[in-house]
Each structure stands twice: as structure tokens, then as C-alpha cells.
Amino acid sequence: MIIVTKKKILYTLGIITMFIFAYAITRYNVINSSKKEIQTIETVALPVENKVIVIDAGHGVPDEGAESSKRNNRSRK
């Protein structure tokens, strides 16, 4: 015995709507990407000699980074 409730119908319609929406977006992007003209841009890579390259990974938890003294003074007022 299959029991169909309003909740199951709405859930099923939501899933079907989501797939239709995803298909429409994908189809739109495929059609428009074939119409676009592909452009290439030439770049120049310069040799790196006697240089130090430093990569800053950014700040996150627990080290949230430094703040300026002006910012600290504003937050204290």
C-alpha cells in the first residue's frame, strides 16, 4: 500500500522543479558558450633571479591578523 501525503507530493514537486531549473541553467550556459568568441591574450613571464617570493596564506582562526591603532581606538570609544 502506498500512502501519498501532501508533504510527499510537495517534496517530489520540489525535487522535479530543482532538476528542471538546473537543466535550464546548464542548457542556457551551453548554448551561450558556443556563441562566444574565444580570445587569447599574450603574456610575458620575466625570469626571477636573486629574489625571495613570499606567499601570505591570509589570516584566519586562531590568528585573525593585526589591527591598526586607529581601529582599536574607535572600538574603545
pLDDT (tens digit per residue) in 19-75:
999 999 999 888 877 666 767 888 888 887 888 877 776 666 666 666 666 654 455
* Residue 16 to residue 9: CA distance in whole angstroms: 11
The verdict on residue 31 lying in a domain is: yes
Domain range for 10 is 6-36+49-76
pLDDT of the residue at 77: 46
The model's pTM is: 0.41
The verdict on residue 44 lying in a domain is: no
* Residue 10 to residue 13: CA distance in whole angstroms: 5
- For the chain, the domain total comes to 1
The verdict on residue 57 lying in a domain is: yes
The verdict on residue 42 lying in a domain is: no
The verdict on residue 65 lying in a domain is: yes
